[in-house]
Amino acid sequence: MTIDMSQFYQVFFDESDELLAEAERLLLELDIENPASEDLNAIFRAAHSIKGGAATFGMNDMTEITHVLENLLDRIRKNEMALTAEHVDVFLAAKDILKMQLDGHRHGAAVDLDAVSDIKMTLQNLAQQGGGQAHLPPVSQPVSEVVQPVAVEKQPSAHPAGKGYLIQLPELPEKDVVALTAELELLGIVEKKPLKDGKHILSLVTDESLDNIVAICSFVLDPDDLIITEQAAGPVAAGASAVEASSTAMDSGKSFLLEISDLSDKDMQTLVSELELLGKVQQQPVSGNKQSLLLATEDSKENILAVSSFVVDVDKLTVTQQVHAVAAASPVSVSTFDEGDFGLFDSIPAPVATPQISQHETKAVEDNNAAVPVENKRVAPRREADKAVASQETTSIRVGIEKVDQLINLVGELVITQAMIEQRTSTLDPMLHERLLNSVGQLTRNTRDLQEAVMSIRMMPMDYVFSRFPRMVRDLAGKLGKKVEFVTNGAATELDKGLIERIVDPLTHLVRNSVDHGIESPEIRSAAGKNPVGRLSLSAGHQGGNIIIEVSDDGAGLNRERILNKAKSSGLNVSDNMPDADVWQLIFAPGFSTAEKVTDVSGRGVGMDVVKRNITAMGGVVDIRSAFGYGTTISISLPLTLAILDGMSVRVGDEVYILPLSFVMESLQPAADDVKDVTGQGRLVKVREDYLPLIPLYQMFNIEPLYREPEKGILVVLQVDGKKAALFVDELVGQQQVVVKNLESNYRKVAGISGATILGDGGVSLILDVANLLRSSRQLITEPSIH
Amino acid sequence: MAKTILTVDDSGSLRQMVAFSLNAAGYQVIEAVDGEDGLNKAKATLVDLVLTDQNMPNMDGLTLIKSLRSLSNYQKVPILMLTTESSDEVKALGKAAGATGWLVKPFDPKRLLDIVQRVIG
C-alpha cells in the first residue's frame, strides 16, 4: 500500500500556522517573572506538535529547530531553567524562522539559510547557558543536513534519498565509537546500536559510496576490522532509518530465524548477500558464538537451507519459521520485544475470546448501572467537555476560498436573474397575476437573504489583521527605546476577506508611523508631564454600512507649522489659514515627510501617499484628527464588501452607467446662467456658493448624448477626498444594489471604469471609477481658482 | 467485521494521516483530539486497539492509558503509545500506566500498518 503523504501537507501547514500564531500570542503575553505554567505547556506543545508533523512529513529543516526549541521549553516548564526576556526574544525569532521554513515548503518561498543556522546556534547557546550541560536527546528521526525549500507541488516527496548501510564494529573503546559516529555523521544519518558483547552496530543512510565510507572509517580504525553491509532497503521514507526500514520489510510473507554458530564475519557477510536474493535480511545482535539473522521471504525453508549451504555447514545452521516477526525478541530492560522504533511490553494479549456484541452488552449494563461510584462522579464534567470538543469540531470546516468565490459568483448570477424576473413581471396586470407576483416577491426576499448569508461566509474577523501587531509594536518599541502599551478593540468586527487582506499593508504603515513619529521617548513624555508609557490603540467597529478602523496614539500629535512650512518649500499650494483637516491631508502628498531624521523604521516620505491610494482604491476614506502634544487618530472608513455596492444608474445617450452611491452628494438641474465657460479651465457650474468643475460624461466616453446643454440634462454632484465635481448626464434612471463583476478578469482594464454589472433587463452596465474620472478631468483643466 | 481503532492525537495532520492509512487498509477508525475526548469515545465504543499520542492538552496520553485500564472492558485491549522519545524512562512510564507497547514518531503509514496488523491482525 502506498499512501501519498502530500495529501496531509495542507492540514499540516494550516495547523502549524495556527500553532505558530498561538505560540507567538502566548509568548507576547508571558509574564517573564512569573510565567503561567499552562501557557508554557501550550507553547511547548506547539513546538512539539510542529516537530512531530514536520518529522512525519519529511520537513526536516523544521524538525531541527523545533527540537532544540522543544527541549529548552521543556526545561523551562519543568523549572529546570529560569525564563528570561532573552528567551522570549529568541523564541519569537525562532517562530519567525519556522514560519519562513513553513512558507518555504508551502509556497516554495525563499528560505534564508543563514538566518536558520543563526537561530539554531542561538537556541543551542541558550540551552547550554541554562543548564550547564545541555543533554539534548538525539532527534528521534534522521535529520537531513541539506535544507532545501522546495514547493510541495513541485516535489511531493521531500524524503531524503540514500542507501542504507549496516556497519559492524569490532570491540572498540567508547571514545572511538563516538569519534567514528561523528565522522560518519558527515556523510549522512547515523544511528548507533550497542550489542550485548560491547560491540556496536552503526546504521548509516547516505548518498556516499561504500569506498568513501571505508575511507572515513579508516581515520579511526583498521577498515579490515569492519563489516559493512549494504541494506537492500527500498526508498527510505522520511524518518525511517535503515534499521527501521529493514524491519519494515518483515511485514509481508513469512519470516525465518536463522541461527548460525561459529561463523566468521566474512562468511556472515557472504551469507547475508546470498540470502538477500531471497528476501529482506536483518542481522540480529550476536549472542555468544551464535549469530542470527531474520529473513523475510516467500521462499520455503528448503530453499533457504539450499542457498545457505553454499556458505555454511548446514549442520551449524538452524532455520525456524517465525509465527510472528514479533517473536524475534532482543533483550531490553522494560520490554519483551524491541525493534527500536516499536516495541511491546508484554506479549500481545490473545484476541479477546468474547465476541464484540457481548462486550457491548457488558458496557451497556455498566452504563445503566449508575451505582458505580467513581465513574459516576466524573461523568458529568466530562460529558460537558466532550460536548465542547464535539461542537468545536463540528462548528467549523475548512473550505477553499475558490469554492466560496464560486458560490458568491453564482449568487451574483441569481440576483441578476431575480432582478430580470422582477422587471419582466412588473408590467403584468397585478389583478390577473396576483399569485405569480406574490411568488416573485418571495423570490426577491429569499434571494436577498441568501445573498447576505453567502456574503457573510467571506467575512473574517479583524483579529486576522490585528493579531500581527502586538509583536510588531513590541519589536519596534524595543528598537526605538520607547515604551508602548498596545490595545486593540473590536477585533471581532468582520470585514470581507478581500478587503482584510488589502488593509494589512496600510495599517502596518500607520502603526509603524505612530510608534516611530507619534509616541515620544519616555524622557520627553515624562518631561511633558505624560505617562512615560505611550498608548497605541487599534480599533474596529461598524458605522452604518461602513467599517471604521482607527489607529490612535497619545503621542506628540501633528505639527501644523512644520507641515505648512514643508508644504510651502515643496511648492504645494497652501495658505496659512487652511482648516486643520486640510493641513493634515497634506501628509498624504507624494514624497511628503516632516521627519527630521530618517530612521530605518519610517520617515522616508514614501508611504503615506501609498496608504491613501490603497485605501481609496478599496473604496475607503482616510481621515486624520490630531492635537499637537496630545496625539493623533487616523481613521479609515471602508465599505463592508467589494462584491456588492449601492449604485445610482444614470443614462447618457443609449448607455446606462452606475455611480457608486457613496460618492453621490446631490443631483440638480442647473439654470443656464449658472454654467460658465472659463478660458483654459473648461466649464464651471455654480452650485449655491461654490463653483464646481463640470464633467460632461458624453465627452469622457465619446458618446452621442440626448442633451449637450447642461440645463436640459442633470448634474450629479460627486465628492472624492473632499474634492467635488458635477457630472453631466442625460437623466437619472434609478437606485439599486448591483453585483460587481470584475472587468479586468473578463476583458481588460479601462480608465474611468471600475467594473461592470448586469442589469435587470439583462443588459450590461459599466460602473464608473469616480475618483479616476475626477482626476482625469482635472488633468484637462487645472484647479478652479474662483471663490 | 472490520476492527475498530481509536487514534488520539491533538495534531490534526497526524491524526488524519493515521486515520487515512488505517481506513485504506479496511479498519474502522475513530479520531479523538485529546485524552479526554479519547476516553469518552473509548467508553462510547469498545475499540480493538488504541493508538495514543503522549503530549496533549486536557489529558495526556499516560493518564488516558491509566484511565482506560481502570475500565473493566479495556483491561485487555491493546494500547500503543505513540511517542517522540524512546528512552527507557518513557517506556517504563508507559509500561507502568498499562500500555501494551510503543511506537516512535515519526513513522510512515506503511510502518504503522505493519505494526497494527501484527498487533491486532
What is the pLDDT averaged over residues A662-689? 85
Looking at domain A6-135, its CATH superfamily turns out to be: HPT domain (1.20.120.160)
Domain A461-639: CATH class, spelled out: alpha beta
Among B40, B95, B107, select the one facing A345 at the smallest CB separation. B95
Residue A138 DSSP symbol? P
CB contact under 8 A, A383 and B40: yes
The yes-or-no verdict on residue A535 having pLDDT over 90 is yes
Omega before A373 cis (within 30°)?
Answer: no
Of all residues in chain B, the one with the smallest CA distance to A40 is: B57
Closest of A227, A66, A238, A249 to residue A161, by C-alpha: A238
Report in angstroms the alpha-carbon separations of A13 from A62, A515, A652.
12, 32, 53
Look-up of cell digits 493623533: A632
Chain A residues whose CB is inside 8 A of the B114 CB are 248, 250-251
**Between B11 and A208, where is the model more confident?**
B11
pLDDT band, very low/low/confident/very high, at A715 (cuts 50, 70, 90): very high
Range with top average pLDDT, A156-160, A439-443, A662-666, B102-106? A439-443
DSSP secondary structure, A146-204, as one string: ------TTT-S------EEEEEE--S--HHHHHHHHHHHTTTEEEEEEE-TTS-EEEEE
The answer to whether the Cβ–Cβ distance between A341 and B94 falls below 8 Å is no
**Domain-by-domain residue ranges, chain A?**
6-135, 250-321, 401-458, 461-639, 644-782
Backbone φ, ψ for residue A195 (5° rounding) = -100, 170
Q: Are A81 and A74 in contact (CB under 8 A)?
A: no
Q: In this structure, which amino acid lies at residue A646? A: D
Q: What is the pLDDT of residues B40-70, one digit of tens each?
A: 999 999 999 999 998 888 899 999 999 999 9
pLDDT in tens, A134-153: 444 444 444 333 334 433 33
Lowest mean pLDDT among A206-210, A225-229, A488-492, A600-604: A600-604
DSSP H or E stretch at residue A296: strand A290-297
Query: Which site among A7, A8, A141 would you substitute to test the B interface, given the most B Cβ atoms closer than 10 Å to its Cβ?
Result: A8
Q: What is the CATH class of A401-458?
A: mainly alpha
In chain A, which residue's Cα lies nearest the Cα of B40? A386
**Taking CB atoms and an 8 Å cutoff, what residues of chain A touch B84?**
48, 51-52, 55, 140
CB spacing of A11 vs B16 below 8 angstroms: yes
Q: d(Cα A305, Cα A180) in Å, to the nearest integer?
A: 36
CATH superfamily of B4-120: Response regulator (3.40.50.2300)
Contacts of B52 in chain A (CB under 8 A): none
With vertex at residue A286, the alpha carbon angle to CA A281 and CA A288, rounded to the nearest 5 degrees, is 145
The predicted pLDDT at position A749 comes to 77
User: Which chain B residue is nearest to residue A6, measuring alpha carbons?
Assistant: B17
> What percentage of chain A has pLDDT greater than the value 70?
75
Mean pLDDT of A546-565: 88
Residue A74 CA to residue A45 CA, distance in Å, equals 9
Nearest to B112 by CA among B51, B70, B59: B51
Kindly report the backbone phi and psi dihedral angles of residue A783, in degrees, each rounded to the nearest multiple of 5, phi listed first: -55, 135
* A533 Cα to chain B: minimum distance (Å): 36
User: SS3 for A622?
Assistant: strand
Is A237 in contact with B72 (Cβ distance < 8 A)? Answer: no
Q: How far is B1 from chain A (nearest CA, A)?
A: 9
Among A117-131, A247-261, A299-313, the minimum mean pLDDT is found in A247-261
Rg, C-alpha atoms of chain A: 37
Q: Are B101 and A1 inside 8 Å of each other by CB?
A: no
pLDDT tens track for A191-218: 777 666 667 777 777 766 676 677 666 6
* Angstroms from B115 CA to nearest CA on chain A: 8
Q: For residue A368, which residues of chain B lie inside 8 Å, CB to CB?
A: none
A251 contacts B117? CB cut-off 8 A: yes
Out of B11, B21, B72, whose CB is closest to A3? B21
Say if residue A154's pLDDT is above 50.
no
The dihedrals phi and psi of A754, each to the nearest 5 degrees, come to: -100, -15
CB B36 within 8 A of CB A385: yes
- A15 → closest Cβ in B13, B58, B120: B13
Residue A335 has phi, psi (to 5 degrees) of -125, 160
Residue A425: name the closest of A30, A761, A99, A137 by CA: A761
**Which one, of A545, A763, A706, A733, lies nearest residue A648 by Cα?**
A733
Question: What pLDDT digit, counting tens, does each position of A321-363 carry?
Answer: 764 433 333 333 455 677 777 888 765 554 443 333 334 444 4
Give B36's pLDDT tier (boundaries 50, 70, 90): very high
For A644-782, CATH number?
2.30.30.40
- Residue carrying the nine cell digits 542507501: A163
In SS3 terms, A341-363 reads as CEEECCCCCCCCCCCHHHHHHHH
Phi, psi of A635 (to 5 degrees): -115, 130
Q: How far is CA A402 from CA A461, A684, A741, B84, in A?
A: 19, 47, 16, 37
- Mutation pick from A37, A139, A359, A389 vs chain B, by most beta carbons of B within 10 Å, is A389
Q: How many residues does chain A have?
A: 787
| Cβ atoms A678, A784 nearer than 8 A | yes
Length of chain B: 121
Q: What is the pLDDT of residues A687-709, one digit of tens each?
A: 888 888 899 999 888 889 999 88
Q: Which residue of A has its CA nearest to B90?
A: A334
Helix H or strand E encompassing A379: helix A373-394
Our measurement of the distance from residue A373's CA atom to the centroid of its chain's CA atoms, rounded to an integer in Å, reads 47
Least CA distance to B75: which residue of chain A?
Answer: A349
Q: Are A327 and A339 in contact (CB under 8 A)?
A: no
Report DSSP state, residue A136. P
Residue A123: all three cell numbers together: 537556541
Q: Do B118 and A385 touch (CB under 8 A)?
A: no
Identify the CA nearest to A697 among candidates A654, A661, A737.
Answer: A654
Cell matching residue A235:
526508498
A and B: number of Cβ contacts within 8 A: 172
DSSP state of A516: I
Residue with cell 487582506: A501
DSSP state of A325: G
- Nearest-Cα distance to chain B for A126, in Å, is 22
Whether A575 has a pLDDT exceeding 50, the answer reads: yes
pLDDT at A133 over 50: no
If you measure CA to CA, which chain B residue comes closest to A13?
Answer: B13
Residue with the three cell numbers 479519547: B38
Partners of residue A42 in chain B, C-beta under 8 Å: 57
Say whether B73 and A334 touch across the interface (CB within 8 A). Answer: no
B interface test, pick of A348, A375, A395 with most B CB neighbours within 10 Å = A348
Contact list in B for residue A325 (CB cut-off 8 A) is 118
Q: How far is B63 from chain A (nearest CA, A)?
A: 14
- A85–chain B nearest CA distance, Å: 26
d(CA A344, CA A333): 12
Interface test with B, best of A5, A17, A38, A334 (most B CBs within 10 A): A334
Helix (H, G, I), strand (E, B) or coil at A709: coil
CA A223 remoteness from chain centre: 51
Encode A476-507: b = buried (16+ Cβ within 10 Å), e = exposed. bbeeeebbbebebebeebbbbbbbbebbeebb
Nearest CA in chain B to A142: B106
Q: For B26, which residue in chain A has the nearest alpha carbon? A: A1
Match 532545501 to its residue by C-alpha cell.
A148
Confidence of residue A249 (pLDDT cuts 50, 70, 90): very low
Task: List C-alpha distances in Å: A478 to A35, A244, A481, A520, A584.
Answer: 21, 49, 5, 13, 28
> CB–CB of B24 and A341 under 8 A?
no
pLDDT band at A596 (very low <50, low <70, confident <90, very high): low
Residues of B in contact with A343 (CB under 8 A): 91, 101-102
- The CATH classification number of A250-321 equals 3.30.70.260
Interface probe for A, chosen from B107, B116, B119 (most Cβ of A below 10 Å), is: B107
What average pLDDT score do residues A156-183 get?
A: 67
Residue of B13, B43, B110 with shortest CB distance to A12: B13
Residues of A in contact with B104 (CB under 8 A): 140, 340-342
State the ipTM, two decimals: 0.80
Model confidence at A716: pLDDT above 80: yes
> Between chains, do A239 and B87 touch, taking CB under 8 Å as contact?
no
Residue A511 is inside which H or E element, if any? helix A497-513
